[in-house]
A and B are shown apart, each in its own frame.
Chain A
Amino acid sequence: MRVVHYLNQFFGGVGGEEFASTGISSQEGAIGPGRLLQKLLGEESEVVTTVICGDNYAAENLDEITEYVVNAVKAAKADLFVAGPCFEAGRYGVAAGAVCAAVSAQLNIPVVTGMAEENPGVDLFRQEIYIIDSGANVGAMSEVLGSMAVILNKLNNDEEMGSPEEEGYIPQGIVRDAILEENAATRILNMIIAKTKGEDYKSELTQTAFEPVPAPPAVKDLTNATIAVVTDGGLVPKGNPDNMPPIAAEIWGSYDIASLDDLEEGDYEVQHRGYDNRHVLNDPDRLVPVDILRELEKAGKIGKVYKEFLSTSGLANPIANSRRLGQEMAKKLKDAGVDAVILTST
């Protein structure tokens, strides 16, 4: 197997932090950890090219180095691609994750990297690639490389990948069913007894860390501000012109309220199956408060009510999809000069 290996300036033997701005380059053959890696992969495997890049340079030029790496992998006619392992080094982890994801997506060959769970590269890329949990201790290098080699071989041979515990990778967050001997009641009791006694237990689901969204600065002057309303309660005009589905909507709509002083019963319907919608149907202002906002606009307390309300169905809507919907809605409103949004939800 022909392998290309990505390393930072330190593991690539260039030097320490002082060399973090070193640009990206390639060399023939294995360097540093790459030598052990090719041994672990077996006789028929060889690191044909090692790409080395300074952590700062990578962080500041991520697109450029990603393209460089993809080209290098192509040029080497590589079968496998490895980055790191990066342990706790954050810039390195983000770069390693990015290049692995790109190589995998564009060239469709097995890729793997390794880093500590807290490494920022994890949350960014764990769903797209396998990341071995290396922990923080660089002394574990050979074990970590060993686990990485196993992953590569399994991917290469199209073997079924085991659980995170079995294979040593950081959970990708993909959910699969397992049929057990014991029922949920038994598992619940086992876990509560362990937890109450202070013993070890393993939760079947762990928190996903969500990137904190920094709070935008407050609106300085409401009397000059344009306020928009967005809802995920599925309120749409009667007839549902955009065919909004009642669950896990992948679309959103914008509906004209420019000439309206309030929303009236009969003009709207609700595309959302997760709540009893009769009260909102009786008076849609209960979900999208046009009446009050118009009052405030007329009294000069707010500058303007944006001419439309935006709506989607939030029922059972996966996070990745919701993120995209939110980003699209935000862009439209920002481009239209809206200063603040009231988002209503059931």
Chain B
Amino acid sequence: MELEIINHDIESMVFGDTTGLSGKELTINHDELKTHLLEDRRIQDIDIQIAVPGESCRIGVVFDIVEPRAKQTGSGSDFPGLLGPFAVAGQGSTHVLRGSAVTVIDPSAFPGITSKMLEMQGEPAAASPYGDLCHLVLSPKLLDNSRRDAVQNALRMLSVKASVYLANVSQGVESDDIDIYNLDQSDTDSRAGIPRIAYIAQIHGHQMTVEVDEPILYGSNTEGMMPMILNPNEILDGALVASYWVMRVETYFYQNHPLIKELLRRHQSKEITFAGVIVTVAASKETDRNRNCMLAANMAKSTLKADGVVLTKYGGGAPHVDMGETARLCEAMGMPTVVQVSDSSGDRKAESAMLFNYPEVDAVIYGGGGDTGWDVGPPERVIAGTPEVAKVLKNLTYIEGGALCGVTNQQGASKIRATVY
């Protein structure tokens, strides 16, 4: 399966008479976009703004960040099963407006310890990959706020619709900047002796009840899901979006999945053979957890024939334990593992961070962020869902690393490491 990514760099984003791409400037017809998005009758009104790097601007509370991408016409389906019709993602050609993002605000969310913000200026901006992007920020007002999951579904649909609308400006536009993603493993001779590495990726955690209309994998809400094998291209090309409730994961970093891209890069250079990706969920019931962990580990061994396995989790404590158990089983099957854990040591002590105690799961990448933060002042512009939230954001004097999108990240993007002293 081969995926061609056609990159179009975006360096500026402005409103104008016609939605289009001219060089590296993306022009957006505000009213046309608004009309298009208001086709979803659940949305009463929508505030559309642009925020660019270096601006004194704070944005929150973020629901999700999605990179504008569209399949070259005839080449596949946009966000199949969620927005477009079912088709296997990860093939054909996809246009990407690199350097831009669609950021959707959650009008019902209030800033708190797990809330997500963006800062476009200063040290916080420099610490997040999102500080370098031009953002189209959507702040909708829903007609009916009585059901939280219905609100969130509207936000999810908004994010992907806007992403495709923007990226469609580049249909047929050529680019020199092409990436080819192809997990070709047919060159078995030249790969003899090279370690086969599999990636077991949690894509949801069921400690919070899964909503009926919460599309995650090809539009499915992952209820009852058992581990399954995906081609990494599928994750990069719209098969997977973030759930409604999660910390440290954005759809943008599924589309640009740092760990998958690194695995593919080292596959190309023949440092490893990327054996494949197994996606799984951290189940709520004990029986389901035991079953999922067993199946995932076994798939890595028997089907993907992995020599080693890397694992990431999705969420907080319970998924962390799940990941530990899966890793333990992998080790028992003779596959060394590396797990990535987040900094959950509320008291800044390593003893509180581990949560599982298997001596064989001894290779840990420790994502930090717990004592990173910045003193800030009031920004010139705040984009928020309600005046109350805007006030809170404006008056912040300190932003914690964990509260800013992209700083602490569970998909491999984070550059902060927690070091044990």
Q: A–B direct touch, CB within 8 Å, in complex?
A: yes
Give the distance to chain A from B21, nearest Cβ to Cβ, in Å. 29
Q: Mark B92-104, 1 if CB is under 8 A from A, else 0.
A: 0000000000000
Residue from B127, B336, B348, B413 in contact with A196 in the complex, judged by beta carbons closer than 8 Å: B336
Extra 14 A-B pairs, beta carbons < 8 Å, given A175-B368, A188-B412, A316-B344: A164-B420, A174-B350, A175-B348, A175-B419, A175-B421, A177-B372, A183-B413, A183-B415, A185-B413, A187-B417, A189-B197, A203-B362, A207-B362, A208-B354
Q: Using known A-B contacts A204-B417, A207-B357, determine if residue A278 contacts B209 with beta carbons closer than 8 Å.
A: yes
| B127, B347, B369: residue with the most chain A Cβ atoms closer than 10 Å | B347
Known A184-B412, A184-B413, A192-B197; contact A175-B336, beta-carbon cutoff 8 A: no
Docked pose: A24 CA to B396 CA in angstroms: 57
* Binding site secondary structure of chain A: loop
Q: Is the CB of B415 within 8 A of A182?
A: yes
Whether B370 lies near A185 (C-beta < 8 A) is: no
Cβ of A179 under 8 Å from chain B: yes
The chain A residue with its CB closest to the CB of B413 is: A183
Q: Which of B261, B347, B421 contacts A318 (CB 8 A)?
A: B347
Tell me, in angstroms, the Cα distance from A321 to B348 when the chains sit together.
12
Tell me, yes or no, whether B381 is within 8 Å of chain A by CB. no
Bitwise, A269-281 to B at CB < 8 A (1) or not (0) is: 0000011101000
Task: Give chain B's interface residue range (CB within 8 Å of chain A).
Answer: 35 or more
Q: A321: nearest residue on chain B (CB-CB)?
A: B347
Q: Quick one: which of A173, A192, A206, A316 contacts B346, CB cutoff 8 A?
A: A316
The yes or no answer to A224 lying at the interface (CB within 8 A) is: no
Q: Taking beta carbons and an 8 Å cutoff, which residues of B are in contact with A?
A: 113, 127, 195, 197, 207-209, 258-259, 261-263, 266, 271-272, 307-310, 316-318, 336-338, 340-341, 343-354, 357, 359, 362-372, 401, 409, 412-421
Contact of B352 among A172, A278, A320 (CB under 8 A): A320
By beta carbon, the residue of chain A nearest B410 is: A184
Q: Which 5 A-B pairs have the closest CB atoms?
A: A185-B412, A196-B308, A318-B347, A204-B366, A185-B258
Interface centre among A203, A204, A205, A278 (most CB of B within 10 A): A205
* Residue numbers in B under 8 Å from A276 (CB-CB): 207-209
Interface centre among A127, A185, A203, A206 (most CB of B within 10 A): A185
Q: Does A184 lie within 8 Å of B258, measured CB to CB?
A: yes
A193 and B272 in contact (CB under 8 A), knowing A178-B368, A184-B258, A185-B259? yes
